[in-house]
Amino acid sequence: MRMTARTLLLSCLLLFSTCKVNDRLTVPFTEGLIGEKAMVVCAHPEASQVGADILRAGGNAWDAAVAVQFALAVVYQVAGNIGGGGFAVYREAGGQSGALDFREKAPLGSDKDMYLDDEGNPTGRLSLEGHLAVGVPGSVDGMVKLHEKFGSLPWKNLVQPSVDLARKGFALTEQAVSGMNGRQDLFAEVNTHDIVFVKEGDWEAGQVLIQDDLARTFERIRDDGRAGFYAGETAELFLAEMKSSNGIITQADLDAYQSAWRDPLVADYRGHKIISMPPPSSGGVALIQLLKAIESYPVGDWGYGSSRTIQLMTELEKRVYADRATYLGDPDHYQVPTKMLTSSVYLKDRMANVDLKHSTPSQEIKEGSVEIVESVETTHFSIVDEEGNAVSVTTTLNSGYGSKVMVKGAGFFLNNEMDDFSIKAGVPNQFGLVGAAANAIVPEKRMLSSMTPTLVEKEGKLHMVVGTPGGSTIITSVFQTILNVIDHDMTMQQAVNAKRVHHQWLPDLILHEEGAISGQVEESLRKMGHDLQNRGAIGRVDAILVRDDGRLEGAADGRGDDKAVGF
């Protein structure tokens, strides 16, 4: 057929238009592990196997969660812990949901200016390294509370696998030795005693790590429950460690600590029910804000990785993270306006000036200055049992190996969660997140977190269990994973594998993984006024999808040693 000049022009315009609309990326098709009955996905193969063994032995999702939490404290000490804290969101098979807050607390002897000098300026790295950085741990109390309310197997059965792993040892992975070898000098500097992680020469993958002190600590937790950690010999060792330097945690702090049951945040997104963590986590509020704000846009038609999709996500994230810095904190100490922040009326007004063609400078959204965004080590695990009960747990020491302080004679690392408070209004923490009075240090107050353990229902049934580590990137990683499944029609494994982008308001910068943004999209975003930076790996999502046929797809993130185990 002969093509006229007009037809040729229209064809060229159509081709150009198609290229602009379809500047999207594709994620190679793949599926995660398929299980008929139950699934555990977490950051280390040994811990995943422990959880699956508990389920096979007749335990429920909460039993498995306790066992996995403790196993991670042995095999994944960079983030797994008994010296830290976290959050759990659960859904019973019948549909009832809830949340447990076992976040750390500020010691009774703390105060809002404890990391400031006489002139009111932050003093060095006292909130990051050493004994003064430690918040009162909540992990053991949290696991005790979960078991008391929902456990079906004896407590000893859930703790014994951790005793065995610590005493018999396990083989170190490449990622584990990389983290340990890179911190040998810091471990030695912060600790005044020998610790099992420090040795002559480098650790090598395949070497077996045996932790006798930790094994004895777990035996006390196994035999005495909560008292095996917050009282008796373990508490004595903990407090002696505090007294050896400038730590301020006392027995009164350990006696007073209690986890808190909370009502989860619930919202609808494109016919799905989102169930996530309330404050003192900022995760649920921010996730719901992002999902409600993006729901009116056809991002599924625009495509994953397209310039319009990334531009929209970025503009929404700037505003949500600005809200986070201003309004969020511990609801037991500050009146957090959760209903306002997640209301459709507020979000419509808040997002009214979003421009799909131009970047809004962060300084115009709210004043502030941030120059750093550091890496973080948290960990997450997702569990679904044979009855359909589901648990989503995110837990942390904050930085990798927390404060780097290991309790002498007890074998576990202590957190550095005090850095998650707003040390001074407008001053960023290690993740570049700023805060205000809502997150100021107050004795017995819980510090703000980005952890976002989340469940998703579809047509009244469990559909997804999702969460991730990643510091300030946790919220956006969970957000993108949900979009990938619901809007971009990906399998769970595709959604987890998909490359990620991130913006947190300050610094005014789109962080992205290698391969997350095509050359064409990068050019478009720069023309809109964005600065971009390759960040390396963002998040390590471990998730489960309940497929339409009822089977479970366990998706372990290949960015780490994560593994799904199901049956």
Order across the sheet with 33-35: list the strands: 33-35, 552-555, 543-546, 461-466, 454-458, 272-276, 265-269
Partners of 466 in the beta sheet?
A: 454
Residue at token pair 């005090």:
418
Q: What angle do CA 217, 223, 229 make, to 5 degrees?
A: 45
Can you state the percent helix, strand and coil of the chain, rounding each to 5? 40, 15, 45
Judge residue 247's burial from the number of C-beta atoms within 10 Å of its C-beta, 0-12 exposed, 13-18 middle, 19 or more buried.
buried
User: What is the C-alpha separation between 404 and 133, in angstroms, rounded?
Assistant: 10
**Token pair recorded at residue 11:** 């064809």
User: What is the C-alpha separation between 380 and 478, in angstroms, rounded?
Assistant: 11
Residue at token pair 């609801």:
331
Q: Which of 378, 379, 395, 481 is catalytic?
A: 378
Alpha-carbon distance values, 522 to 428, 509, 519 (Å): 28, 13, 5
250 is catalytic: no
Alpha-carbon distance values, 234 to 230, 409, 539 (Å): 7, 9, 33
DSSP 39-90: EEEESSHHHHHHHHHHHHTT--HHHHHHHHHHHHHHH-TTT--SSSEEEEEE
**What are the two backbone dihedrals, phi and then psi, of residue 206, each rounded to the nearest 5 degrees?**
95, -20
Provide the annotated active-site residues: 378
